[in-house]
Structure 1
């Protein structure tokens, strides 16, 4: 299985979940929270990364659900 990072991005109908490199959205949601929840489920299943974007397109947050080659050193 090819692991594709999942991106939560702004969409004309709200927010979309889109696999990295895909031309089409995986799903479209009315709220960013719903899109994040859907993207998180996909990322967990694929053991990939979830990248959450702001409405201006800039990255807001990233969460890794796979084998992270560079795990965080800070203790939250």
Structure 2
């Protein structure tokens, strides 16, 4: 995991928000709760939020404060 990004990952029967290269970890009862917390952390820090499924694969990525190089505006 990239140290600047925020990840929502399965943690046993709970869900965790992992940031700072895995050193910061907060757990939640549901994935929905974890996503809400991760969304806020990523938005405040202007980094990506990666939401993983139970299988560990990234199923969704949200970008905060970054634009693709080819973005027009």
Q: TM-score, normalised by structure 1?
A: 0.79
Partner of 2:10: 10
Shift of 1:9: 0.3
Once the two structures are superposed, residues 42-72 of structure 1 have per-residue CA deviations (whole angstroms, 9 ceiling, x without a partner) of 000001110000001011100001123x168
What's the TM-score, normalizing by structure 2? 0.82
Question: Alpha-carbon deviation of 1:23?
Answer: 3.4
CA RMSD of aligned residues (A): 2.0
Unaligned runs of 5+ in 2: none
Q: Which runs of 4+ in 1 moved over 2 A?
A: none
Unaligned runs of 5+ in 1: none
Higher percent of residues as helix: 2
Q: How many residues align?
A: 69
